Amino acid sequence: MHQILILSGKGGTGKTTVASAFIKLSEAKAYADCDTDAPNLHLVMGSYEQDQKRDYRGLPKAVIDPDLCINCNKCYEVCRFDAIKPGNPYRIIPIACEGCNYCTHVCPVEAIHSEEAKVGDLKLLKRNNEVFSTATLLMGSGNTGKLVSEVKNQLKEVSSEHEVAILDGSPGIGCPVIASLSGVDLALMVAEPSLSGLSDLKRVIASARQLQVPVAVIVNKYDTNERKSAEIEVYCYKEGIPFLGKIPYDKMATAAINRGKTLVEIESLGAGAIRTIYENTLQLMKERIHI
Amino acid sequence: MGTKATIAVLSGKGGTGKTLVSVNLAAVAANATYIDCDTEEPNGHIFIKPTIVGEYVVTEPKPVVNQDLCDGCRTCVDACAFNALALIGKNLLIFDEICHSCGLCTYICPKGALREEQRPLGIVKRGRKNGMTFLSGEMNVGESSAVPIIKALMREQSTDLVIIDSPPGSGCLVTETVGNADFCLLVAEPTIFGAHNLAMAHDLVTLMGKPSAVLLNKTQEGENPSEIYAKEHGLKIIGSLPYDEHLALLSSDGHLAVEEDEHYHTYFKELLEAITKEARHASDSDPQR
Amino acid sequence: MIIAVPAEEKSLDSAICVSFGRAPVYCLYDTEKETSTFLDNKAAEAPGGAGIQAAQFLADQKIDSLITFRLGENASNVLSAANISMLKAPNLSIADTIANFLEGKLSSLNEVHPGFHHGH
């Protein structure tokens, strides 16, 4: 299975807008929302016939047995994460607990043990022969590289070798992004034409290159700052990174998204630009990556 | 609460305008402290352009082994919940970037072969610009958690009014940041994506027991899903900032709108007054304070 | 000698897993006895440091060589410390990969990528 991952570095540049358009244009049978911190893709993909859910268990957390606790304070003394609330009995603050087990080891009456709490749901949505993999996290739980890997693995289980999967990535450069890059054939970066946008773009490109993943760039809302947009093009040219096109700021895009439609389901300047970019992406995949 | 107010600006999602709002609010105040808690991609400095008056390294304890005392019993390797230790033959390998600095291995070693040494994690920078105090934290590339940096930043605050530019998302960095706030300003975009993420941010601040209000950003004509969400959930809408090409251009070039445009100076000044008033009202009526 | 290959399934026809640390199973092949064993990889469940835990596990099994597509630098450090050689996997089944190894056709793994960090 070949994978195209849509990334950005900076948040809010239009990853989901682009990813959803690509899914419609490519008629992809397999796609995933790897932004498990703030999953948005489902909001424009319509409804599905089947909805499989399974528990996702995260980092184990400490649990104090209230019947055994003798209020000796030893756990509080050793915890470095402010995860213990003194009281009668002492309690763990789950949001803060890192699962290190130090408290478990020092408790003189063995009142503390580790439990893998459910931190979210892994979901597999199906319709016709399409498969959509995503996850939702319970509030306060952090996104992890492992969860993103599980979201991607769900696709592998059901799709075939010859298909192209589209992955809607997450912002930033941390573990979830690194995990989403694993095994990807092309990382398409959606850049914002601003100082912070260019700076974040460079960092995420560096991450992709470290993992030897081929990269390409597009600029969204380019006409909000044409000079910065041109700077990004020049940067790509100098670095030998394929620049696949630019999308103008499109008021109609907001209206379309709010009706739960992808950009290519309407006619607008933005829609036209994305179609061109999609063609360019296909061309690049054929030439450079032999798909 | 008196005159002190710590306002965290957050959004649950990136790109909604947290930084734009935070830097402009801090700039329009008489002497506020601006804290950039987005340690992965700190951007506040681009707008504020502070003169840095000091910086220091934030450290974290990491285990170091005395191989002469180590007898290869593997107690530490088996105890480490994060797989930060490995034993090959008689050599103990320690992986600093994976280590969470919990201290368990050092405590549990039966031979006392492990001790902790402070290792650099990142930097905290302190700066000034006109009347504003600027604080920013940056994590070294490759490190796992910026929580100690955020804690260090929070210990620094000095002025009565503090504006915190929060990290995006709803993970541990955000909860660490929000934990220090008196009041949360949720910035939301007028799309279903924006509303969905507003809901998540709202759930988070509610879970943490923090009063909050919404600023509708980049508003246009037509229905605003974030506005609908706010009204349906009794979330106060403290203001609305329409999408404006001029504002977008100014910000994308790293300018402070309040310094370049009289209209925005007035707008943010009024917004700041509304927010501080709301923050005080919320704390006065909160029996826990 | 014993060689290890990360596998998708417990079968010699299986493909080699693209991930080292989170491979579901490892195939261990004994070149002298000409036998193969499949071992479950518990590190696949680890929230973080999976590569390190997997490398520790294989070092404990006293393997001599690892054949893999990719390897993170932390796992690589553990394997180097144990004097385990690391070879680049071909795009073949486990059985064919082992055959290639025995014919001396495999080359050293040169690229090691930075760590994936861990869940937080």
Q: Identify the residue with better confidence: A78 or A173.
A: A78
Q: In terms of residue numbers, what domain contains C70?
A: 2-102
Please, which pLDDT band fits residue B142 given cuts at 50, 70 and 90? low
Residues 23-82 of C with CB under 8 A from B: 43, 46-50, 52-53, 55-56, 59, 74, 77-78, 81-82
Query: Which are the contacts of B39, defined by CB distance < 8 A and separation ≥ 6?
Result: B122, B137, B138, B139, B146, B149, B150, B167, B173
Rounded CA-CA distance B244/B219 in Å is: 9
CATH code, A70? 3.30.70.20
Q: Are residues A231 and A155 in the same domain?
A: yes
How many degrees, rounded to 5, is the angle at CA B251 between CA B249 and CA B256?
Answer: 125
Looking at A118, A140, A164, which one is the last position of a domain? A118
Q: β-strands C25-30, B237-242: how paired?
A: unpaired
Residue C118 has pLDDT above 50, yes or no: no
B110 and chain C: CB distance < 8 Å anywhere?
Answer: no
Q: Which of A40, A171, A255 sits opposite B168 (nearest CB)?
A: A171
pLDDT tens per residue across span B7-27: 999 987 777 889 999 999 999
CB A174 within 8 A of CB B40: yes
Rounded CA-CA distance B126/C31 in Å is: 62
Residues in chain C: 120
Which chains are within 8 Å of B by 3+ CB pairs? A, C
CATH code, C71? 3.30.420.130
pLDDT tens per residue across span A7-16: 988 888 999 9
Any domain includes C14: yes
How many domains does chain C fold into?
1
Any domain includes A200: yes
Residue B117 has pLDDT above 50, yes or no: yes
Q: Are residues A22 and A152 in the same domain?
A: yes
CB C28 within 8 A of CB C36: yes
Q: Identify the residue with better confidence: B232 or B208.
A: B232
How many domains does chain A fold into?
2
Please, which pLDDT band fits residue B157 given cuts at 50, 70 and 90? low
Please, which pLDDT band fits residue A143 given cuts at 50, 70 and 90? low
Any domain includes A38: yes
Interchain pair B46, A195: CB under 8 A: yes
Give residue C119's pLDDT: 35
Q: Which of C9, C14, C42, C113 to mutate to test the interface with A (most CBs of A within 10 A)?
A: C113
pLDDT tens per residue across span B210-263: 999 999 999 998 889 999 999 999 999 999 999 998 998 898 889 999 999 999
Give residue B287's pLDDT: 52
Hey, what amino acid is at B11? S
Asked if the domains at B5-32+159-284 and B59-120 fall in one CATH topology, the answer is no
Any domain includes A123: no
Enumerate the domain spans of chain B.
5-32+159-284, 59-120
Rounded CA-CA distance B191/A201 in Å is: 24
Any domain includes C89: yes
Residue B289 has pLDDT above 60, yes or no: no
Any domain includes C110: no
C contact set with A (CB within 8 A)? 18-19, 22, 46-48, 111, 113-114, 116-120
Please, which pLDDT band fits residue B1 given cuts at 50, 70 and 90? very low
Q: Which CATH class is domain B59-120?
A: alpha beta
pLDDT tens per residue across span A15-28: 999 999 999 999 98
Pick B5-32+159-284's CATH classification: 3.30.70.1530, 3.30.70.1250, 1.10.1740.10, 3.40.50.300: 3.40.50.300
Q: Are residues A61 and A174 in the same domain?
A: no
Write down the H helix ranges in B29-170.
Answer: 44-48, 75-79, 104-108, 147-156
Any domain includes C71: yes
Residue C120 has pLDDT above 50, yes or no: no
Please state the rounded mean pLDDT for residues B54-77: 95
Residue A282, beta-bridge partner list: none
Any domain includes C107: no
What angle do the packed helices A251-258 and B192-207 form, to 10 degrees? 70
Q: Are residues A77 and A206 in the same domain?
A: no
In chain C, the percentage of residues whose pLDDT exceeds 90 is 67
Question: Residue C10 has which token pair?
Answer: 């417990």
Q: In terms of residue numbers, what domain contains A154?
A: 2-49+128-289
Give residue A149's pLDDT: 84
- B153 to B3, B172, B208: CA distances (angstroms): 21, 15, 20
Show the beta-strand stretches assigned E in chain A: 2-7, 30-33, 50-64, 84-85, 91-92, 112-127, 130-137, 164-168, 186-191, 215-220, 243-247
Please, which pLDDT band fits residue C69 given cuts at 50, 70 and 90? confident
Locate the chain B residue with the closest alpha carbon to C54: B83
Q: Which of A100, A140, A172 sits opposite B41 (nearest CB)?
A: A172
Give residue A94's pLDDT: 84
Question: Residue B262 has which token pair?
Answer: 């009289």
Locate the chain C residue with the closest alpha carbon to A116: C47
Residue B288 has pLDDT above 70, yes or no: no
How many degrees, rounded to 5, is the angle at CA B150 between CA B45 and CA A151?
Answer: 95
CATH code, A278? 3.40.50.300
pLDDT tens per residue across span A104-134: 999 999 999 999 888 889 999 999 889 999 9
Q: Are residues A203 and A112 in the same domain?
A: no
Please, which pLDDT band fits residue A290 given cuts at 50, 70 and 90? low
Please report the ipTM that was assigned to this predicted complex: 0.87
Query: Which are the contacts of A287, defined by CB distance < 8 A and separation ≥ 6?
Result: none
Interchain pair B97, C82: CB under 8 A: no
Give residue C115's pLDDT: 60
* B:C CB pairs within 8 Å: 58
Give residue A162's pLDDT: 63
